[in-house]
Chains A and B, each alone.
Chain A
Amino acid sequence: DQQVKQNSPSLSVQEGRISILNCDYTNSMFDYFLWYKKYPAEGPTFLISISSIKDKNEDGRFTVFLNKSAKHLSLHIVPSQPGDSAVYFCAASAFSDPGGGADGLTFGKGTHLIIQP
């Protein structure tokens, strides 16, 4: 049973336009969400995160939106650039778990973003 779902295996966007990557989760204990970007033969690179007490976090061209009631988050990239072509992973954790300490991340399967010139 997948707790974090990225339903689009791939997405093609024209350079300069907005890229929107979506992610759904089922575990209501998740309260911290992250997006990672991955190039082939490299490890995931942290992009942006959001805590469940917020509904939006922005960093340059990247904005993450969180809709807790719908258990849905999205990553917006605007404007999209050729270097943004990569696999994007959504990840979640129960950061404030009463057990304390850090928590292993639960990842989606990723969305391959292709930016076309």
Chain B
Amino acid sequence: GAGVSQSPRYKVAKRGQDVALRCDPISGHVSLFWYQQALGQGPEFLTYFQNEAQLDKSGLPSDRFFAERPEGSVSTLKIQRTQQEDSAVYLCASSFTADTQYFGPGTRLTVL
């Protein structure tokens, strides 16, 4: 595809449910990033992959958050036992040269 795609675009979950958010990066991009954007804030870094290796997960807010990229392309961000404070837009970005990151449209997660 031409750009980064994410699915679903919108997700509503009941408190305590598990959710899985998918990211398809730009073909050939080695680096993949996940960000969380709360209302009225800028995106905040969650985790970073170089190919299939998760090199930085310092931004993950708790051990309920887990990300994987098993084959070095598609990535999944999983949130277990969702809480209301997890409500946010989750953005995925990819880059080839590790400088400019290109973002997908995001998944808006609402936890009721």
Contacts and interface: CB of A to CB of B under 8 A. Distances in A.
Given A43-B104, A44-B103, A102 B95 contact: yes
B18 interface: no
A89 interface: yes
A49 interface: yes
A49 B100 contact: yes
B42 A107 contact: yes
A105 B99 contact: no
Nearest to B46: A104
Contact of A34 (B35, B45, B100): B100
A42 B106 CA distance: 7
Interface string B43-64: 1111010100001100100000
Interface in B69-112: 91, 93, 95, 98-106
A62 interface: no
Interface residues of B, number: 29
Nearest to A107: B42
A101 B98 contact: yes
25 contacts: A34-B100, A34-B101, A36-B103, A42-B105, A43-B4, A43-B103, A43-B105, A43-B106, A44-B43, A44-B91, A46-B101, A46-B102, A49-B99, A49-B100, A91-B42, A102-B48, A102-B50, A102-B98, A103-B48, A104-B45, A104-B48, A104-B59, A105-B33, A109-B41, A110-B42
Interface of B: 4, 6, 31, 33, 35, 40-46, 48, 50, 55-56, 59, 91, 93, 95, 98-106
Interface of A: 4, 32, 34, 36, 41-46, 49, 89, 91, 93, 95, 101-110
